[in-house]
Amino acid sequence: MFSTITSGILSRLAWQKRSHSSATLSSLQEVIAMVEFTPDGHILTANALFLERMGYTLAEIIGQHHSLFCTPDMVQSPQYREFWQRLNRGEGFSDKFLRVAKHSRPIWLEANYVPVQDRHGRVIKIVKLASDITARIMDAQEQSAMTTAIERSMAVIAFNLKGEVLMANDNFFNTMGYRADEIIGRHHSLFCPPGMRTSEAYRRFWHKLNQGEYISGQFERVNKQGNTVWLRATYNPVFNSAGELYKVVKFATDVTAQVEKN
């Protein structure tokens, strides 16, 4: 079921196609994030607003699969396969979706997936129209729902400003092989290769976080068994109501399989 807003957008897009009015499409492109997929989910094109919200350039995503924006657990789920099967049958979707922007940044999108059919009724592409509602989701009334969704899909761990572990979720424990009592109060360096722990780069890493700087990227880490784990992660300095920095929260996705495959 499509929202009234989406119905209006699609009507305007249809009118634009008939009238060849570039101004109409241009105005929509400024307020609605748009991306197009092949029927099997590969990216055909995206507008500037979508790229801005997701943190990618067009060259980085053309030809990539929609799963680039999803958590590994979601991609492997039966629900995800059914999602694309239904789109290929011409069924549209309208809902709030937790997606993953570049560097594993969580983003909430209110989106409509619209199958586009040719005159024979065959689906030839999928158009997604989306709005970034992350700020709204993060409001107090919806904070709990967002936290739960992130907890289910990403590894989360929090540190004090000294780098000592305050808490972590089950996904983090499963990824790194530890129990809570084995890491609470331990330093972040526990998860780093030995050569990194005393390096100048590692010292600068924590200095930046203590200055309130956000850090993202792909990081080599070590699990309890001493095996290398690659994490695509963001380290997010958190401030209290007085504007004082008091902890760092890390959101991470295990990308070891992808790194080793390449």
| Position 10 in a domain | no
Identify the domain boundary among 137, 171, 203: 137
Task: Tell me how many domains the chain contains.
Answer: 2
The answer on 158 and 126 residing in a single domain is no
Domain that holds residue 227: 154-260
The answer on 177 and 86 residing in a single domain is no
Q: Is 240 helix (H, G, I), strand (E, B) or coil?
A: coil
Q: CB-based contacts of 100: which residues, under 8 Å, 6+ apart?
A: 69, 70, 71, 106, 107, 253
How far is residue 231's CA from residue 103's CA, in Å, rounded to a whole number? 10
Q: Residue 197 burial by CB count (10 A; 0-12/13-18/19+): exposed, middle or buried?
A: middle
Tens-place pLDDT, residues 168-197: 999 999 999 999 999 999 999 999 999 999
Q: What is the pLDDT of residue 118?
A: 92
| Position 14 in a domain | no
| Position 37 in a domain | yes
Q: What is the pLDDT of residue 20?
A: 46
| Position 111 in a domain | yes
Q: Is 192 helix (H, G, I), strand (E, B) or coil?
A: coil
Cα R_g (the chain), whole angstroms: 21
Query: Letter for the amino acid at 74?
Result: M
| Position 143 in a domain | no
CATH number at residue 218: 3.30.450.20
| Position 27 in a domain | no
pTM for the structure as a whole = 0.54
pLDDT in tens, the chain (262 residues): 344 444 445 544 444 444 444 554 555 667 899 999 999 999 999 999 999 999 999 999 999 999 999 988 889 899 999 999 999 999 999 999 999 999 888 899 999 999 999 999 999 999 999 999 888 877 755 567 667 777 778 999 999 999 999 999 999 999 999 999 999 999 999 999 999 999 999 999 999 999 999 999 999 999 999 999 999 999 999 988 788 899 999 999 999 998 888 7
